[in-house]
Amino acid sequence: MSQPPLAGVRVVEFAGLAPVPFAGLILSDFGASVVRIDRQAHQAVTNDVLCRGKRSIAINLKSEEGLDVVRKLILSADVLLDPFRPGVLEKMGLGPEVWLGEGDVEGKNERLVFARIAGYNRDSVNKDVAGHDINYLAMSGALSLLPGTPDKPTFPLNLLADFAGGGLTCAMGIVLALMERVRSGRGQVVEADMVSGTRYLSTYPFIHNALHSPLFASVASPRQLNVLDSGAPFYNVYTCADRQPIAVGCIEPQFFKIFLEHFYQAVPKEWLEVEEWKPGLGIQAQKELWPKFRELLDRGFKLKTRDEWVKVFEGTDACVTPVLTPAEAAVAYSYISAPAPTLSRTPANKCDRPISVLSPGEHSREILAELGLPSHEIEKLVRAGVVSVKDSVLAKL
């Protein structure tokens, strides 16, 4: 069987939260060897669950001996993942100029891809302030277009800025830099920030917003009055009789026609007679009647359970699907999402192991040995508190 596409790529990941671990997870899933540098247990970042396939070494980053170990790791690495605020690694003497060179000064590892993820662009006025996904999403302009009430948009967990605009965008930049390195033999800095990444991800709605199209909110049409921001009754979520949600997404007229036919056939005739209104295909173009039609569908979907509605639309192009929980979706897929996309000849690593948390220092001895340190030097570093080892005998003495 062929090796995964990133086999042989060595990655050093400084422990962080959400976006950087996700970028590291992508690289690991597709075959890279990822070593996570953790602070020692009492200083460690909150347990990271995005650790599949990674190994950990726990180092005292405030000691010169600890920094020496870090330098050895980076010297032999292909990729470095930096989760810190701007300037942190520079203050530690580990900035990109050390490895890639600057001016006439040669770098110590000029093939290194130095990848960093910040919240805000490193040239922006906010570059040094704290934030989270919701802040980056808000500053990107994308949050203002998302569904919600007319005066308050809603946010989709922390998926857009942290993971799509941050981690996924950074991983793409790393792969691009590795590809370019084949030609030039040189690494480079990959700068990712979650505001810029989210903005790039939002290219499609931003263009539609600028063109005042009917798909997204704009100056001409506030939120919740457009096709894709929960304004359209034919692109929305409804609650069924058992209080379970179902999704409707029949934008195209031919799909909307199928939806109407099956919906009207499924509801009781006497209910339609009481309603005294049965809109047809033309309702899609009658924006002023959307709220009334949405109320009709609200009442109609409450007449059956979710699973009953699934059977009504099963096998059709009505674009109606149940809103599955993660556990329900796991019946068709695996509970833990498999790497995507799939590659026919060099697939990603399998993700069929139980969920686990990578403990800081779990592989410290193993990683140090790979750096060429003899066992007595490794034990010396452990005894001096420079490197921590999970469940080590020394820790129990």
17-62 pLDDT tens trace: 899 999 999 999 999 999 999 988 665 555 788 999 999 999 999 9
Residue 66's pLDDT is 95
Q: Is residue 210 part of a domain?
A: no
123 is an active site residue: no
132 is an active site residue: yes
Looking at 322, 354, 378, which one is the last position of a domain? 322
pTM of the model: 0.91
CATH number at residue 265: 3.30.1540.10
Q: Residue 286's domain spans which residues?
A: 235-239+245-322
Q: Is residue 4 part of a domain?
A: no
Instruction: Give the mean pLDDT of 180-209.
Output: 96
- 367 and 297 co-located in one domain: no
Residue 397's pLDDT is 27
- 374 and 304 co-located in one domain: no
- 87 and 192 co-located in one domain: yes
Q: Kindly name the residue from 162, 208, 229, 363 that is annotated as catalytic.
A: 162
Looking at 263, 291, 322, which one is the last position of a domain? 322
CB 243 within 8 A of CB 309: no
Residue found by looking up tokens 């003495």 in the block: 397
- 167 and 18 co-located in one domain: yes
Instruction: Assign 3-class secondary structure to the chain.
Output: CCCCCCCCCEEEEECCCCHHHHHHHHHHHCCCEEEEEECCHHHCCCCCCCCCCCEEEEECCCCHHHHHHHHHHHHCCCEEEECCCCCHHHHCCCCHHHHHCECCECCCCCCCEEEEEECCCCCCCCCCCCCCHHHHHHHHCCHHHCCEECCEECCCCCHHHHHHHHHHHHHHHHHHHHHHHHHHCCCCEEEEEHHHHHHHHCHHHHHHHHCCCCCCCECCECCCCCCCCCCCCCEEEEECCCCCEEEEECCCHHHHHHHHHHHHHHCCHHHHHHHCCCCCHHHHHCHHHHHHHHHHHHHHHCCCCHHHHHHHHCCCCCCEEECCCHHHHHHHCCCCCCCCCCCCCCCCCCCCCCCCCCCCCCCHHHHHHHCCCCHHHHHHHHHCCCEECCCCHHHHC
Q: Is residue 41 part of a domain?
A: yes
- Evaluated on CA atoms 309, 310, 314, 316, the torsion sign reads positive
Instruction: Give the mean pLDDT of 162-172.
Output: 97
Question: Among 81-90, 121-130, 245-254, 369-378, whose mean pLDDT is lowest?
Answer: 121-130
Mind listing the pLDDT tens digit for each residue in 275-324?
Answer: 999 999 999 999 999 999 999 999 999 999 999 999 999 999 999 999 99
